């Protein structure tokens, strides 16, 4: 009996699953953030080790023959070197009751791939991830891949929660100035944040140490305003949908479209303003045999499948 | 003979002028940044004191009857309290050979007002400031004022260098993804920053500790591309012009337009891609007796005039 570890490392938490060759999950552990670019390699190592340890507690000592780590932004060779260092450290760790048998069975990949494989249950299809940021990633039967977006809150992330929130705040300031249509977003942001004047958004956004995540958490203000019929908010939401459709179109077309599953993952899809419905209508109108699905499994499950696949090839 | 001090406090430097009642400049001093929101009240105090000291070295010991400080973002009452504390400290300072005679002649104002008064030479007109960020501010004969923009790099600053640079980088990523028209900006940013791949913009923008100013310094890449005929870059520049025109229109209209001088200040107006010319054409086509001028004096000069005016009223 052999086992693999699948790890999903993100900006808020790290999840580790233990899977056997029958694709059965035997253990699951969670720990804190492991996006090493923000928190440093050592803190990432500690989170990953904790998640593994918590998962192994449910299995007892095991032999691990392959490990797959999906980590946010792990695309570049420099990143991969750092993460390989982390795995070497893991294999030396006295805290883990694991017998490592994985000379070459170490897979380090972008979290979009693990989200795709987990979401669909195999490694062919397209994932449209729209949380704080956005990325569209696809892989076809021939193994060709295509990525669009995922460039972060300054360079891209169109259609993501951060962008929606910022567009909403900008629209509020423009209405307040008299530059654009009036919108209930002015009052909505004031109420949401307990501000006397919308000018105090400056205090909130620049001076309270708010980061991308905190700003993104205001996206529901725009979503709710859109649901309540505010034209400006609705246009922001529709623009987000158009961006997600556009990015998806490029990926599907490049992989020689049709007959794909597209899995939607991330908080934006849970919006009340029908973002997912509008996205599905656009995509299905454009492509014949594309099906838009909800995730079947979590990304760490996808990481396990990728680890198993590596074993079968090696 | 009485004297006033006019101070222009910004994010890179602080300038102090000493003016007599004949509007003659008798001393000028420069020091480092004094935007207290970023660097703290104490560091701001040190810069302001240094600038005053350098100016007073050219005059010898003087009586100061009024002082005006124009500081970035000094609009809110909380800001004004902090700056009043700074001025109290200045009056206690043993380092300044000044006899302070200014119980009530202390003016603290937004740097847009000092830019307006310095740029035009009196306190009626409109200033269109477009540097890293943007703000349009006007004042009419009746003393009514109107401000549009100035909400910073996240909430606004449309038409400013930061926005132009970010729009250029986003366009490059979109072209690279295949989402939008191709543009020479991809190669231009790579060349400017010595990148192997445009994907390395992520390294530059998020991981090198770059701030707003550093990003804004890339605006000339877009400007040059526009000059060289790149359609995508030209559209970014034109969009910036449209935003500056729109903001100016609101201010001019609200102050019951016509017969104004509009002064343009800031680095964006020095762009090679005719931003200023396009702006002037739009504004002059729309308003009859509006004249667009270059600054007559610097903002610290405007601060002196405001200090003198206060004296004449008190």
> With contacts defined as CB-CB under 8 Å, which chain A residues touch B73?
202
Q: Is residue A266 over pLDDT 90? A: yes
Question: Please, what is the angle between helix B161-177 and helix B231-254, to 10°?
Answer: 140
Beta-bridge partner residues of A6:
A17, A68
Q: Is residue B116 over pLDDT 90? A: yes
What is the CB-side half-sphere exposure of residue A122 using CA atoms within 13 A? Answer: 7
What's the average model confidence in pLDDT over A284-294? 91
What is the CB-side half-sphere exposure of residue B248 using CA atoms within 13 A? Answer: 31
Task: Report the chain B residue with the minimal C-alpha distance to residue A253.
Answer: B178
B125: left (phi over 0), alpha (psi -120 to 50) or beta: left
The pLDDT assigned to B11 comes to 79
Is A246–B179 a contact, with Cβ atoms under 8 angstroms apart? Answer: yes
Q: Residue A9 and residue A116: Cα distance in Å, rounded?
A: 15
- Strand, coil or helix: B4: strand
The pLDDT assigned to A206 comes to 86
- Whose CA is closest to B70, among B313, B296, B300? B300
A308: distance to nearest CA of chain B, Å?
Answer: 30
Both structure tokens of B236 = 């970014």
pLDDT tens digits for range B126-140:
999 999 999 999 999
Both structure tokens of B237 = 């520049």
> With contacts defined as CB-CB under 8 Å, which chain B residues touch A82?
none
B305: distance to nearest CA of chain A, Å?
Answer: 28
Residue A258 has a CB neighbour count (10 Å cut-off) of 11
- Whose CA is closest to A44, among A55, A33, A54? A33
pLDDT tens digits for range A218-236:
999 999 999 999 999 999 9
Q: How confident is the model at residue A137 (pLDDT cuts 50, 70, 90)?
A: very high
> With contacts defined as CB-CB under 8 Å, which chain A residues touch B37?
206-207
CB B31 within 8 A of CB B48: yes
**Mean pLDDT of the residues in chain A:** 91
- Whose CA is closest to A19, among A312, A314, A306, A313? A306
pLDDT tens digits for range B57-101:
998 888 899 999 998 866 677 778 888 888 888 888 888 888 888
- Strand, coil or helix: B263: strand
Q: What is the CA radius of gyration of chain B?
A: 21
Q: Is residue A314 over pLDDT 60? A: no
Is B155–A173 a contact, with Cβ atoms under 8 angstroms apart? Answer: yes
Is B250–A179 a contact, with Cβ atoms under 8 angstroms apart? Answer: yes
What's the average model confidence in pLDDT over A7-30? 92
Q: Residue A15 and residue A52: Cα distance in Å, rounded?
A: 8
Backbone angles phi, psi at A291, to 5 degrees: -115, 130
Residues with Cβ within 8 Å of B184's Cβ and at least 6 positions away in sequence, in order, are B225, B228, B230, B233
Percent of chain B whose pLDDT exceeds 90: 69
Is A201–B174 a contact, with Cβ atoms under 8 angstroms apart? Answer: no
pLDDT tens digits for range A237-247:
999 999 999 99
CB A273 within 8 A of CB A227: yes
Local structure of residue B32 (DSSP, 8 states):
S
Task: Report the chain A residue with the minimal C-alpha distance to residue B40.
Answer: A207
CB A30 within 8 A of CB A14: yes
Task: List the single residue in A75, A154, A170 with the smallest CB-CB distance to B205.
Answer: A154
> What is the ipTM score, two decimals?
0.89
Classify each residue of B3-36 as buried b or exposed e, where b means 16 or more C-beta atoms within 10 Å of its C-beta.
bbbbbbbbbeebbbbbbbeeeebbbbbebbbbbb
Is A177–B152 a contact, with Cβ atoms under 8 angstroms apart? Answer: no
Q: Residue A292 and residue A67: Cα distance in Å, rounded?
A: 29
Both structure tokens of A129 = 């991830």
Taken in order of first residue, the domains within chain A and their CATH numbers are 3-121+297-313 (3.30.420.40), 152-293 (3.30.420.40)
> With contacts defined as CB-CB under 8 Å, which chain B residues touch A179?
148-149, 246-247, 250
Q: Residue B275 and residue B291: Cα distance in Å, rounded?
A: 16
Task: For strands B98-100 and B291-293, give the pairing.
Answer: unpaired
Task: Report the chain A residue with the minimal C-alpha distance to residue B157.
Answer: A170
Q: How confident is the model at residue A85 (pLDDT cuts 50, 70, 90)?
A: confident
Question: Please, what is the angle between helix B161-177 and helix B219-227, to 10°?
Answer: 70
Is A152–B206 a contact, with Cβ atoms under 8 angstroms apart? Answer: yes
Q: How confident is the model at residue B314 (pLDDT cuts 50, 70, 90)?
A: low
CA A111, A114, A117, A120 torsion: positive or negative? negative
The pLDDT assigned to B151 comes to 92
Task: Report the chain A residue with the minimal C-alpha distance to residue B180.
Answer: A246
Backbone angles phi, psi at B216, to 5 degrees: -60, -30
Burial group, residue B291, by CB count within 10 angstroms (0-12, 13-18, 19+)? middle
Burial group, residue A42, by CB count within 10 angstroms (0-12, 13-18, 19+)? exposed
Q: Is residue A115 over pLDDT 60? A: yes
Q: Residue B91 and residue B149: Cα distance in Å, rounded?
A: 34
pLDDT tens digits for range B194-249:
999 999 998 899 877 888 999 999 999 999 999 999 999 999 999 999 999 999 99
Is B155–A254 a contact, with Cβ atoms under 8 angstroms apart? Answer: no
With tokens 């492509």, the residue in question is A287
Local structure of residue B211 (DSSP, 8 states):
-
Is A179–B37 a contact, with Cβ atoms under 8 angstroms apart? Answer: no
The pLDDT assigned to A29 comes to 96
Q: Residue B240 and residue B216: Cα distance in Å, rounded?
A: 14
- Whose CA is closest to A128, among A271, A6, A273, A243? A243
The pLDDT assigned to B26 comes to 94
Task: Report the chain B residue with the minimal C-alpha distance to residue A208.
Answer: B37
B28: distance to nearest CA of chain A, Å?
Answer: 32
Residues with Cβ within 8 Å of B2's Cβ and at least 6 positions away in sequence, in order, are B20, B21, B63, B65, B101, B311
Task: List the single residue in A154, A179, A202 with the smallest CB-CB distance to B247.
Answer: A179
- Whose CA is closest to B133, among B6, B296, B244, B251? B244
Q: Residue B216 and residue B163: Cα distance in Å, rounded?
A: 7
Q: Residue A12 and residue A52: Cα distance in Å, rounded?
A: 16
The pLDDT assigned to A75 comes to 67
pLDDT tens digits for range B270-302:
999 999 999 999 999 999 889 999 999 999 999
CB B125 within 8 A of CB B139: yes
The full DSSP string for chain A is: --EEEEEEE-SS-EEEEEEETT--EEEEEEES---HHHH-HHHHHHHHHHHHHHHHTTT-SEEEEEEEEEETTTTSHHHHHHHHHHHHHHHH-TT--EEE--SS-EEEEEHHHHHHHHHHSSS-EEEEEESSSEEEEEE-TT--EEEEE--HHHH--TTSHHHHHHHHHHHHHHHHHTSS---THHHHHHHHHT-SSGGGHHIIIIIS---HHHHHTTHHHHHHHHHTT-HHHHHHHHHHHHHHHHHHHHHHHHTT-SS-EEEEESGGGG-TT-HHHHHHHHHHHH-SS-EEE--SS-HHHHHHHHHHHHHHH-
Both structure tokens of A17 = 């699953």
pLDDT tens digits for range B264-276:
999 999 999 999 9
Which of the given ranges, B24-38, B215-229, B251-265, has the highest pLDDT on average? Answer: B215-229
Is B152–A207 a contact, with Cβ atoms under 8 angstroms apart? Answer: no
């Amino acid at each position: 009996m052999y086992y693999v570890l699948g790890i999903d490392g993100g900006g808020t938490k790290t999840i580790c699953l233990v899977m056997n060759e029958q694709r059965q999950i035997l253990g699951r552990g969670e720990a804190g953030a492991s996006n090493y670019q923000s928190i440093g390699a050592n803190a990432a190592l500690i989170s990953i080790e904790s998640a593994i340890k918590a998962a192994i507690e449910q299995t007892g000592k095991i032999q691990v023959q392959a490990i797959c780590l999906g980590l946010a932004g792990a695309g570049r060779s420099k990143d991969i070197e750092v993460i390989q260092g982390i795995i070497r450290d893991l294999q030396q760790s006295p805290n883990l009751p694991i017998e490592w048998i994985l000379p070459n069975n170490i897979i380090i990949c972008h979290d979009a791939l693990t989200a795709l494989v987990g979401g669909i249950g195999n490694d062919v299809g397209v994932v449209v991830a729209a949380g704080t940021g956005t990325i569209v990633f696809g892989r076809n039967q021939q193994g060709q891949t295509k990525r669009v977006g995922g460039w972060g809150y300054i360079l891209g992330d169109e259609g993501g929660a951060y962008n929606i929130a910022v567009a909403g705040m900008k629209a509020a300031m423009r209405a307040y100035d008299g530059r654009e249509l009036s919108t209930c977003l002015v009052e909505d942001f004031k109420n949401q944040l307990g501000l006397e004047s919308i000018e105090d958004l400056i205090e909130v956004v620049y001076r309270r140490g708010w980061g991308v995540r905190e700003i993104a958490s205001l996206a529901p203000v725009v979503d709710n305003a859109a649901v309540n019929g505010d034209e400006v908010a609705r246009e922001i939401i529709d623009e987000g949908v158009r961006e997600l459709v556009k990015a998806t179109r490029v990926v599907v077309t490049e992989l020689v479209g049709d007959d794909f599953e597209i899995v939607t993952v991330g908080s934006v899809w849970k919006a009340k303003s029908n973002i997912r419905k509008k996205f599905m209508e656009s995509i299905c109108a454009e492509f014949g045999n594309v099906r838009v699905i909800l995730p079947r499994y979590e990304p760490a499950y996808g990481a396990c499948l990728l680890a198993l696949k590596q074993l079968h090839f090696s």
